[in-house]
Structure 1
Amino acid sequence: MTPRGPWPTGSSARPLTDEERYDRVAREAAGLVIGAYSSSFGLASRLLHEPVRAGVRDVYAFVRLADEIVDGPMGVSRPELAEQALRRLEEETAVALEHGYSPNLVVHAFAGTARRHGIDREQIDPFISSMRMDLTRSVHDEASFAEYVNGSAEVVGLMCLKVFLHADGSQGTAGSRGTLAAQLEPGAMRLGAAFQKVNFLRDLAEDYQSRGRRYFPGIDPEHLTEAEKHRLLDDIDTDLAAAQPAVDGLPRSSRAAVAVAHALFLELSRRLRATPATTICSSRVRVPGLVKNRVAAAALLRARRS
């Protein structure tokens, strides 16, 4: 028999119910993922206020879980098994969204956040579809690239925006939140797209050499030219600039964290621009830890002054 606790949270706290205990364990499990997989997002997420922070970590864990299915060893060597696993994840998520429970801790945490903050199939279905594309398509044209970026990044930006607005208690009525959401959604999508495109360029060599993927239409990962590199980065920087007003318009509970993430990816974009295209074809460009801390501190100071 599994020990049941209680797990008090203070000297006079009541024992947790079984449902509360499972919810808490699920969210703790989801919270481990962002720290293990992303130093940039992990750093930025620590600046989020609760309960916004927990909600964003739930979203990140779900996205990472799906990504691991298609990018892990099974996705590369046994794509048919990865497809089955992705289908199971899709089905488990649908059930959890309806009933509020999953035996998969990450799915359970994500479904709880989705139900609380209005994340629905309109965002989840395109995301799963984009993950499925990684199992069926290795070279993209303009149309499939746009579809992939929308599903893998833009809708994730919308998921996070829902958490930012719904989990923040200062945003007034549902009507006022809806008005603000409509204003910020285009910027949230552009920010998600910029993050994804930066990752594509940074990981150009690894994605091609390890998985045979060529995300950017018309780009040969083994022979990236300087002109192509600058064209891609011009597009990325345009997305980052377009996202800035949305970052500035976020509630205080999330503004600083997103401003830090924006600044870190802008720094990565600058470093990619300064790196020879031939180097990008063979290695991964990184922002050193000390530089990350400096960039994050400057962005945090600017956000708190705004």
Structure 2
Amino acid sequence: MAATTGVRLYDRTAARASRAVLQGYSTSFGLGTRLLGPQARTDIEAVYALVRIADEIVDTRGGDDAGQMLDELDQQVERALSSGWSTNLVVHAFARTARRVGIGPDVIDPFFASMRMDLTVRVHDQESYERYVYGSAEVVGLMCLAVFLNSGRRPGDPLVVAAPDVTAGARALGAAFQKVNFLRDLAEDSAGLGRSYFPGVTPGSLDAPTLAALLAEIERDAATARAALPSLPRRARLAVAATLGLYDRLAAELAATPPQELLARRVRVSAPGKVAVLTRSVLAEALPRTMPGTGVRA
């Protein structure tokens, strides 16, 4: 009995550690997770925390030993997926989630590969850009999708596997979020980290037509993500719709900002603005849809 209590206490402590990482780094993502059920919220927090720690290694820590640190984190995850245990609380929480919902090496390996690219690739061509976005963002969307479909799974239950269009929507959702952040962080990535993610785009070359083309690319991703919303479980659908609404607002702010101004400040949405956007998005998704002129629910 004492051993069981100890395991549960360790698991709960690991989950709280992951929640603390999310709360410390992202108000937007955190607001969206509140619309999920308790288990799905805990699982998404575990995914976010691991991704954030890896990102901090390559962006904030940097240095000659960053690659070694990233390798160590990758190895910790691999061992925890096998054993179900880690001395790293965030890794422990992630592994518990991953083992239950079906997150495996097929998405974890590309993620760490993209994180390693941040240590070696400074300017991306089209091929490396697409590979980086897939590993850094699209697979995170797939991890979240696995949570949405399997957070309530019990041992022995079959995994729920998404249809191809829903999988495409999850990948597109991650890509849209990442590309918006690329635009928001253009100046910092270039001046502070020496990176250029968009092929052929530098702070000096960003003009109105280029910005419009990038925003059109993001909108195509967002449209693919929105098309998959009806296939998600209800609470996941509301959470994703809310987060998409916020990124739509950010995209609109980016479109209204002169390119050179984007290099001087990071476009943000105020905390009250985020709440308002999220509320409107949830209501729009939750209210019954009707066929125009008929009053019949679509």
Normalised TM-score (structure 2): 0.92
Amino acid of the structure 1 residue aligned with 2:72: R
Instruction: Say whether 1:262 aligns with 2:250.
Output: no
Match of residue 83 from structure 1: 67
CA distance in 2, matches of 1:162, 1:272: 31
Gaps of 5+ in 1: 1-5, 7-14
Check 1:97–1:149 CA distance in 2 against 1; reply closer, same or farther (3 A cut): same
Count of aligned positions: 284
The correspondence of residues 88-237 of structure 1 with structure 2, limited to 5 A, is 88-168=72-152, 174=158, 177-178=160-161, 180-237=162-219
SS of residue in 2 equivalent to 1:215: coil
For the 8 Å contact 1:66–1:86, the answer to whether it is kept is: yes
SS of residue in 1 equivalent to 2:87: coil
- 1:174 is displaced (CA, Å) by 3.6
- 1:18 is displaced (CA, Å) by 1.1
For the 8 Å contact 1:224–1:277, the answer to whether it is kept is: yes
Amino acid of the structure 2 residue aligned with 1:100: G
SS of residue in 2 equivalent to 1:51: helix
RMSD: 1.5
- The list of structure 1 runs, each at least 4 consecutive aligned residues, that deviate by more than 3 angstroms after superposition, is 180-183
Amino acid of the structure 2 residue aligned with 1:123: V
CA distance in 2, matches of 1:200, 1:248: 28
Gaps of 5+ in 2: 289-298
Match of residue 25 from structure 2: 37
For the 8 Å contact 1:123–1:155, the answer to whether it is kept is: yes
Percent pairwise identity? 48
The worse-fitting range, judged by mean Cα deviation, of 204-213 and 218-227 is 218-227
CA distance in 1, matches of 2:40, 2:130: 29
Match of residue 223 from structure 2: 241
CA distance in 2, matches of 1:83, 1:109: 23
For the 8 Å contact 2:138–2:174, the answer to whether it is kept is: yes
The worse-fitting range, judged by mean Cα deviation, of 159-168 and 122-131 is 159-168
Aligned partner of 1:285 among 239, 249, 267: 267
CA distance in 2, matches of 1:305, 1:129: 41
For the 8 Å contact 2:184–2:266, the answer to whether it is kept is: yes
- 1:183 is displaced (CA, Å) by 3.6
Instruction: Say whether 1:63 aligns with 2:47.
Output: no
For the 8 Å contact 2:190–2:202, the answer to whether it is kept is: no
